[in-house]
Amino acid sequence: MKKFGLIGYPLEHSFSKSFFNDKFHSEKIDAEYVNFEIANIQDFTKVVNNNKDIAGLNVTIPYKEQIIPYLDGIDKDAADIGAVNVIKITVDKGEKKLIGFNSDIIGFTKSIKPLLKEYHKKALILGTGGASKAIFHGLKKLGIESTFVSRSPKEGMITYQDINEEIMQEYSVIVNCSPVGMFPKVDKCPDIPYSLLTEKHLLYDLIYNPDETLFMKRGAEHGATTKNGLEMLIYQAYGAWEIWNR
């Protein structure tokens, strides 16, 4: 039996485990998917060494960037992004080879593309973590120029306090890559001027629990198109499965 799994901390609400085990059961695939909750990235080597049948891993927060030094190589998208969320494990002459990929970029571009209009030229990316880098490169592939929004001043980025009427008119796509608004803190939302939103704005939230975040709700109140991250998650899971089976 092949084994697949998820590396991260914490893993209380793992989508991947139920998704893949349901897939294996319904398609009669002789495999299982396990959560490997590790409190320190240094424990990653134990996971690989102690599970001889492991063929692939997903990686989630906070290890998408920290995992890279433990790999034997990464593909171009993952290298450009600087973050890995899929690891393909092969055995060559008795030695395991670990190659990193990023299927977040696959999931995001497939999910947001049908919503894009000709006037969606520029995007604000809220948050600066590993997922935000995949979103930046995904938008770039779709021909959209992006600017990161950070809570504190950083080179090449703007802060939430910088977002004024001019910026809101210029940037008609806003992607929330921060955890603000995620269950159980559903009464929170990113600090942007929602009153300046219009029907030409597209608000995409990587969060999928709750189904409609306060970020999305406040956007919809001003006519903006909104979407959560569930479809992206499903697409990136299928992308991971394709990578493992190449």
Q: Catalytic positions, please?
A: 64
Compute the half-sphere exposure of residue 84: CA atoms within 13 Å on the CB side of its CA.
27
Q: Are 221 and 195 in contact (CB under 8 A)?
A: no
Q: Beta-carbon neighbour count of residue 65 at 10 Å? A: 17
Q: Is there a contact between 209 and 218 (Cβ–Cβ < 8 Å)?
A: no
| Those residues with Cβ within 8 angstroms of residue 190's Cβ, 6 or more apart along the chain or in another chain | 126, 160, 176, 178, 180, 181, 215
Rounded-to-integer distance, Cα 215 and Cα 194, Å: 9
Q: Which two tokens stand for residue 70?
A: 């433990």
Buried b (16+ CB within 10 A) or exposed e, 18-52: ebbbeebeeeeeebbbebbebeebeebeeebeebe
Q: Are strands 54-59 and 2-8 parallel, antiparallel or unpaired?
A: parallel
Cα–Cα distance, 133 to 104 (Å, whole number): 10
